[in-house]
Every structure is written in C-alpha cells, then in structure tokens.
Chains A and B, each alone.
Chain A
C-alpha cells in the first residue's frame, strides 16, 4: 500500500516538475550569434594548410616582383659600371694621344 502511495506521489512530483520553468528566457538572447562566433573561431583554428597558402599568395607575388626589380636593377647597374670602365680607358688613350702628339 505504501509503495502504491509513493508511486502516486512520485507521479505527482513528475507532473508538477513538468510545469517548472527551467531557465530564464533571456538566456536564449543572442544565442545563435554566440554559436556562430564559436564556429568561426573553430574554423579559423582548423584552417587547412592550403587555405593558408592561398592567403599567402599576395606575399609570395610581392616577393617575386621585388626580386625581379632587384635583379633588373643589379644588371643595369653592372652595365653602367662597364661603360664607366670603358670610358676611363678611352680618356686615358685621349690623354696619351694628346701628350705624345700622335
């Protein structure tokens, strides 16, 4: 008899608990924003190498362009150096010609 009565009490306890408000409604406020922020953060953290490589493409391109400019410039400056040397050589020849009267 006691058990039956306790069963009944337990059922009534369940019925009352079902009516309980379990949390404040404001907990739902902005929930989807919080979830999306967490998902984005996780996505960033687990970004695959290839995606990083894609992101680094502008950096690689800039390096190639800078290298190209540097190589071009160094070639140009070496050509100037040669002409300068040639120029010095011809100046000497002119001076010798002038002094010797040839």
Chain B
C-alpha cells in the first residue's frame, strides 16, 4: 500500500511527461519551483521579472526534456538551465543599461553591517552594489557568496574552468569592495 502511495521519482515524472502526460510535468514544476524561485530572485529587479524568468526556465526544461539523459540528478540539470537563464537576464540588463536606481540607498561598508541589521535592508544595499558589476562578476559572486556553491559546482553550472571561476571571483570581490568603499567616500 505504502509503495503505491509513494511519490513518483523525478525520472518517472519525466518519462511520463515525455509520453505526453502534462500532469506529470506540472507535478515536476510544483516539486522544484521553490528552488528555482530562490535562485532567480537574486538576479532580478522585481516580482514581474521573477515570475517571468521562472516561467522561462520551466518552458526551457519542457522544450529540452528529451535532452535530459538522467546521468545526473534532475535538480543539477535544472540548476544549470536556471543559471543560464539568470546569466542571459544579467547580460540583457547590462545591454539595456537598465540598472537599479540608486535613490534613497546608501551603499557603505562603513555602515555597521551587524547581525542586528535587517536582512532585507542588507539585501537592498548589496543589490544596488551588485547592479554595478559586470554580468559575469555578479553571477560568480551570487553563486559563490550568496548561494554558497563550491568553485567546482559553479564551474559545472557555468561551463567555465575552475581556474576561471576563481580568478573571476577574486576580481569580482575586489570590484564589489571598491564600489562599496567609493560610495562610502562620497
């Protein structure tokens, strides 16, 4: 009885979705949406973009489901697609020169970034500073310092070599500090 009630595995849902069962794909989306939302939320400027990019991610998953070989967990494959979608979004933002407006935000490292500081406020400060970084730098900082992924994981997600990830992370961190310090000086 218990075996019958057990939730189907991702692989089984994928197989069913590939044979035309839309319900199974909807179940797959339901199962993984939170992870995608949490990841994408670090790269977008508002809730509309968040919903848009998350939908885009799952549509890409649906369109490329046949390419999923099953040699790694579905979650890894999904993270890779999500990372690519976020990176594309960042590059588009840079091209449009559409950065987050800086009014009413004080970027500063001299501010007491203490445990008492509300996380939402800290996020606002960091978000505005991150918006000034290059797309690649922002991606690597977000994955390494906010998502707490390892260099190897970032390398697998982005397709960059581990050495490139390390160098980029170092430069990105330096640049981020410079942005926050410069603003502090003003």
Contact = CB atoms under 8 A, between A and B. Distances in A.
Q: DSSP class of B's interface residues: helix, strand, loop or mixed? A: helix
Given A35-B26, A35-B55, 17 more contacts: A9-B109, A10-B177, A12-B115, A13-B125, A16-B115, A17-B119, A17-B122, A18-B146, A18-B148, A19-B119, A22-B37, A22-B42, A28-B33, A28-B34, A32-B33, A39-B22, A39-B59
Interface in B78-112: 109
A10 B130 CA distance: 12
A31 interface: yes
Interface of B: 22, 25-27, 29-30, 33-34, 37-38, 41-42, 47, 50-51, 54-55, 58-59, 62, 109, 113-115, 117, 119-120, 122-123, 125-126, 145-146, 148, 173, 176-177, 180-181
Contacts of A9: 109, 113
Please give me the 3 A-B residue pairs with the lowest Cβ-Cβ distance, nearest first: A22-B41, A20-B119, A16-B122
Contact of A32 (B26, B38, B122): B26
